[in-house]
Chains A and B, each alone.
Chain A
């Protein structure tokens, strides 16, 4: 699955760069949104048809919030460490990690609150994160675990990467992924702003 995903994205990127006209990118956004709607409808049918998933979900209770919390804290802590190696301040590196895959928002926010350069770093980092997530989710699901397969996509696990998570794991994990994605998406603007305002 991962190889097919990687090959498809690389072929699309090459086609967009070398062959297809730039004006097409205006339509590709619409096409992607329509496609994600279609996909999520079917993910919803699978989730709705699996009632035992909802029952299992109740057993988790408050512990379910540890997944998005772990994703956010782990992402920020690791980017702070990577930033130290690359010569970024704690606030700058943490803000890039706090984007959690939401490239458009973190890029715009950091361009406004800090600099065009850091905005670009956040934008490209989170694009790379989303693309890498598509390839890594099936591998993580098969080799490490279903809960861990939610983590690569960050906040995108509520929409774009959700179909891959659902396909690689199952309806129960898909529900957890969706809830985690909604929570993370709602805190990304706060986290990015808080991190970039750190004085160190």
Chain B
């Protein structure tokens, strides 16, 4: 994933420098949307064709779903509780 981090850094540098042609930058959202769908499809393929995941899911799927739901809800709830400390009025991220 270090390679991906380098691409992110390269994008930030180009974005900050303002050297990205406006016509291309305007299409950024479109590029992101379609490539995201392609990646998600490929992720699905790698899960569907991975016996370890499928067999694991069939044997301990219920426990994993309960744990995953709990982990997500726990993270979300605590950040929600901490939000008034993290974000003061006027710092307007929704």
Contacts and interface: CB of A to CB of B under 8 A. Distances in A.
Contacts, number: 304
B93 A56 contact: yes
Given A121-B60, A145-B94, A9 B43 contact: yes
Interface in A52-79: 56, 59-60, 63-64, 66-67, 70-79
Given A42-B28, A45-B20, A74-B78, A12 B85 contact: no
A17 B67 contact: no
A79 B75 CA distance: 10
Contact of A39 (B35, B49, B50, B69): B35
A35 B36 CA distance: 8
Contacts of B33: 167
B42 A134 contact: no
A7 to B, nearest CB: 9
A148 B42 contact: no
A28 B66 contact: no
B11 A117 contact: no
A49 interface: yes
A148 B76 contact: yes
A5 B32 CA distance: 13
A117 B15 CA distance: 46
A60 B46 CA distance: 39
B10 to A, nearest CB: 6
Nearest to A56: B91
Nearest to B65: A128
Given A25-B49, A169-B93, A44 B9 contact: yes
A130 to B, nearest CB: 8
Contacts of B54: 17
Given A28-B45, A36-B1, A147-B79, 6 more contacts: A12-B45, A16-B47, A25-B46, A31-B42, A49-B20, A128-B68
8 contacts: A5-B37, A18-B48, A22-B49, A36-B1, A51-B16, A71-B78, A74-B76, A152-B75
- Nearest 4 CB-CB pairs, A to B? A12-B44, A48-B15, A44-B11, A16-B48
